[in-house]
A and B are shown apart, each in its own frame.
Chain A
């Protein structure tokens, strides 16, 4: 079936290093993608989004890259901090599917001081 999945379930990085979290999606009709951060005991928190007519978008310390050719999405976090430790999810919105979001598996990011 259609799915959004992640290449790496866990990622451990040193404080100050850059982090890259990857995500693959299977539906070429998806036109809107979002990255979420979820800390323990909390709901997902919006980080950054990107539409299918773009291939890159930057926020504060975060960059999302979209490669529609290979249906791949990545989240880059610059100068990773201990407060970045959380589970990160990618989600896709299929524009003709009533606006619902489908979530990927999730990657747990652990930042070592």
Chain B
């Protein structure tokens, strides 16, 4: 299965600032996804990162708040913009090669907004 490197692993940020999270995969993958996991909760899909085009966002998530880039088949970034304490969560990158062969997750970015 693919190996994911997600950076940073954690950060403490001031409200009103932005943080960009990177997801690097060791092999080409078809699909990349970004999830949010609030404290003590399950994973909620933010968006599907599409290579060479705009990401597809889930209900409740918008591009202005969570801009996503995916310049190639092995790399994606998620930016959390104009942060507030409510954005304090773990953000996770996930990839799959076919959509039916298991999905691999990064170790996550633990974000605290103060």
Of the candidates B6, B30, B45, B106, which one forms a contact with A102 in the assembled complex, judged by CB atoms under 8 Å apart?
B45
Determine the distance from Cα of A56 to Cα of B66 in the docked complex, in whole angstroms.
39
Q: How many positions in chain A have a CB within 8 Å of any CB in the partner chain?
A: 24
Determine the distance from Cα of A106 to Cα of B40 in the docked complex, in whole angstroms.
9
Given contact pairs A44-B105, A99-B99, enumerate 18 new A-B contacts (beta carbons under 8 Å).
A32-B99, A32-B100, A34-B102, A34-B103, A41-B110, A42-B108, A43-B107, A43-B108, A44-B43, A45-B105, A46-B104, A51-B100, A93-B99, A99-B96, A99-B100, A101-B94, A103-B44, A106-B41
A→B interface (CB under 8 Å): 32, 34, 36, 41-46, 49, 51, 89, 91, 93, 95, 98-106
Say whether chain A's binding surface is mostly helix, strand, loop, or mixed.
strand
Task: Find chain A residues with CB under 8 A from B30 CB.
Answer: 99
Category for how many chain B residues contact A: 20 to 34
Task: Find chain B residues with CB under 8 A from A100 CB.
Answer: 31, 33, 45, 48
